[in-house]
Structure 1
Amino acid sequence: MKKRNETLDILKGIAILSVILGHAVQRGLVYNFDSTIIWRVVYSYHMPLFVLLSGFTLYLSNPTYNFEWVKRKFYRLIVPLISWTLLVELMCNFQFTGLKPFTIFPNSFYEFAKKSILHPDWAFWFLWIIFIFMLTFYFIDKITKKYNSIRQYQMIFLIFIVILVFKVFNLPQGYFGVADVLNYFPIFICGYYLSKYKDYIFKYVKYTLLPSALLWIVLLNKWDSNDSIAHKYIMAIVAMITVYCLVKLLEKQLKWLTYFGKRSLELYVCESIFLNIGISSGYIRVISIFITATICSLLFARILKTNKYTNFIAFGSFKSENKFRIKKIVTST
């Protein structure tokens, strides 16, 4: 069995805990969450980091782009997308979920079906765009298979097609998650090529820690939710470089984060229904929501994974894990 990359798992752990922390800040500091430094820090890098790592692992896995591969990605990404979108719709009125008012929910099943078809990314957009990226790689691989000269530059070819279709023809981007796909696709591609040329690039990344950290701090002080996409790209890049370099410096001390990194999908979907369970107010509430959402999500995911059917519906995998067991203590006399 191929050994897992611990650095990647640590980075995934940081990313998913940052997602939960960002949501906890929203629920704990309802009226001014977007003006706090912790929210700015988290939202400057957490989802771009997830997308970058997805592109990185795609190349690292060296997949065979066939129908079976597409089917596995559909099970792993789209099945949970459908299941959890329906679940949060059914649970939206429960106060402990904290889903409202941060998400606008349809008022009828017809509206829900319509919204889910036209905007399949409205609840769990990350799963949708990653599947679109995977599907795009599949089709580009098929298109360029017979043309080696194009195949060497298949991603440049792909970018050209995207620009031509959406920019030149000025097609609408308000449906089917197109806006997020276009915004995050360059980051996904960066992750893919970062993985491809990692032996060369990572030799020099350590030298960029100090300037990246300083630029990140400067950009955070000027951060605004209406910033241009170029500003957000630059901030995401310097933030991710800083996080990566710090992880490499403290990798031994951060190994415990691999536990969360290996469970990033489960945490991403499960935390959505445990976002308002906390005590007190202010930052105490933020911390308590973060802790309870993380623990409850892990426990709920563990329960769902003990049965192959619930595991498939919730996480797109038919494999089941062993049920909770209390280990017997054996003593010798």
Structure 2
Amino acid sequence: MTTDAAPPAPSAPAGALDPGRLKRRIPMWDTARFLAVTLVVIGHAIQRQTTGSEHALALYTFIYAFHMPAFGVISGYFSSADTPTAKRMRRTFTDIVVPYIIMQTIWTVVQAVVEGGKEFNPTKPTWTLWFLLALGIFRLILPYLAQLRLPLVWAVVLSIGVGYFDNVDSTLSLGRAISLLPFFLLGWQVKQWGVFDRWYEASRRTVVRVRVAAGVVFAAWAVSCALWIPQFKEFDLHHWFFYDDSYSGLGEDAWWAGGVRFGLMLLATLLTASFLVLVPRRTVWLTQFGAATMYVYLLHTFLLYPIRESGVLAGEHSAWPFVLLMVLVACAVSLFLAQPFVRRGMRWLLEPKVGWLFRKDPA
């Protein structure tokens, strides 16, 4: 018997940012989605403070080591490698392409007004929008990669190899998509292996042991970030966790730079696994907000942008009490944007009805 067991996972092609259409919800994954997106908000909230505060940089480095890989794993877990149906292909437009164009247009206008000189360029995603394009790329190529032997190995090879090419950049999020592809493949592969099906049914003793080990992993990484942040800062470690620059762009164009990325990928995998097993398997208070992940992800930037651009987070406002304050603000923003009334009020913008885009289905 277990105290927090969850129902078996459904087979549904939903991503980390769009769980709303799942007919059978799994409490653990909804909770994980919301916690992951809250880490994103916290990271963006304290980013301006990292230049003046080692406390902020330590927390930032801690979060960035695994929060986007975790999103990749969650997205892959709920993705399908089957031949795309007409419905699934249309959802690529409605879930990714249309929201991306809308938000990219809005951000272009906002930045043009505030910063000036901004041109509309849909090939260069603004701020957080890169993940929408990356998710679209993941979904498109998964059926092809699934035909290969050891697809996860090929994804790792691609991720390490792309760092040696300076011409693969942020255009259409291609650099980040290829770099983070192994985590997406890992999520899909874990689903095929039935790892979490066994985790749902694991005994209480097993759960406790695994979670203690996961807690030790997190504690060890937290201590490392606290003690060695000067060395991490000198190495520019947090920029490696962005997965968007070539090795030469990171200042490390030696032949062994790919080994550094591989090591950081192993670290991200270990931290992501620890994160997921620490998430409660049963329904908790935060579970209800898992369906609003896309709204939190796409809208939190509008609330944080004025604070970040005002310059108020510089100087003495980078001290640790203000870092803690921004963490609390970020959590409040995440909770606010996950409320049902926000989803109802913003659905017209983030989930517009675009049936007129598609030709009549012959079927």
TM-score, reference length from structure 2: 0.65
Residue 152 of structure 2 contacts residue 182 of structure 2 at CA under 8 Å; is this kept in 1? no
Taking only aligned residues, the RMSD between alpha carbons, in angstroms, comes to 3.8
Q: Does 2:214 match 1:209? A: yes
Separation in 1, partners of 2:50, 2:125: 29
Q: Does 2:67 match 1:26? A: no
Separation in 1, partners of 2:30, 2:266: 24
Residue 85 of structure 1 contacts residue 123 of structure 1 at CA under 8 Å; is this kept in 2? no
1:172 aligned partner: 167
1:107 aligned partner: 117
The amino acid across from 1:216 in the alignment is: W
2:9 aligned partner: none
Separation in 2, partners of 1:35, 1:165: 31
Change (3 A) 1:259 1:30: farther
Q: Deviations over 1:162-196 (max 9, x none)?
A: 5899689x582123322101210011111110111
Pairwise CA distance, 1:21: 1.6
Secondary structure at 2:238 match in 1: coil
Separation in 2, partners of 1:153, 1:290: 42
Change (3 A) 1:94 1:219: farther
Separation in 2, partners of 1:292, 1:53: 22
Secondary structure at 1:173 match in 2: coil
Identify which of 292, 295, 299 aligns with 1:270: 299
Deviates most, 8-17 or 276-285: 276-285
Pairwise CA distance, 1:24: 1.8
Alignment of 1:68-217 (within 5 A): 68-92=87-111, 107-108=117-118, 111-113=119-121, 116-117=122-123, 119-120=124-125, 123-139=128-144, 151=147, 153=149, 155=151, 159=155, 162=158, 172-174=167-169, 175-199=171-195, 202=199, 207=210, 208-209=213-214, 212-213=217-218, 215-217=220-222
Q: Deviations over 1:201-241 (max 9, x none)?
A: 74688545256335534553444325542343133222212
Residue 270 of structure 1 contacts residue 297 of structure 1 at CA under 8 Å; is this kept in 2? no
Change (3 A) 1:84 1:31: farther
Deviates most, 172-181 or 264-273: 172-181
What are the ranges of 5 or more consecutive residues in structure 2 without an aligned counterpart?
Answer: 1-21, 241-259, 356-363
Separation in 1, partners of 2:350, 2:33: 20
TM-score, reference length from structure 1: 0.70
Pairwise CA distance, 1:153: 2.8
2:278 aligned partner: 246
Change (3 A) 1:128 1:33: farther
Separation in 2, partners of 1:35, 1:131: 32
Change (3 A) 1:161 1:49: closer
Secondary structure at 2:304 match in 1: coil
Residue 37 of structure 2 contacts residue 297 of structure 2 at CA under 8 Å; is this kept in 1? yes
Q: Percent identity?
A: 18
The amino acid across from 1:260 in the alignment is: F
Pairwise CA distance, 1:303: 0.6
The amino acid across from 1:225 in the alignment is: H
Change (3 A) 1:32 1:94: farther
Q: Does 2:67 match 1:46? A: yes
Q: Does 2:332 match 1:291? A: yes
Residue 159 of structure 2 contacts residue 181 of structure 2 at CA under 8 Å; is this kept in 1? no
Separation in 1, partners of 2:113, 2:54: 22
1:304 aligned partner: 346
What are the ranges of 5 or more consecutive residues in structure 1 without an aligned counterpart?
Answer: 96-104, 142-150, 320-333
Separation in 1, partners of 2:346, 2:296: 12
Separation in 1, partners of 2:52, 2:265: 27
Secondary structure at 2:142 match in 1: helix
Residue correspondences, number: 284
Residue 42 of structure 2 contacts residue 326 of structure 2 at CA under 8 Å; is this kept in 1? no
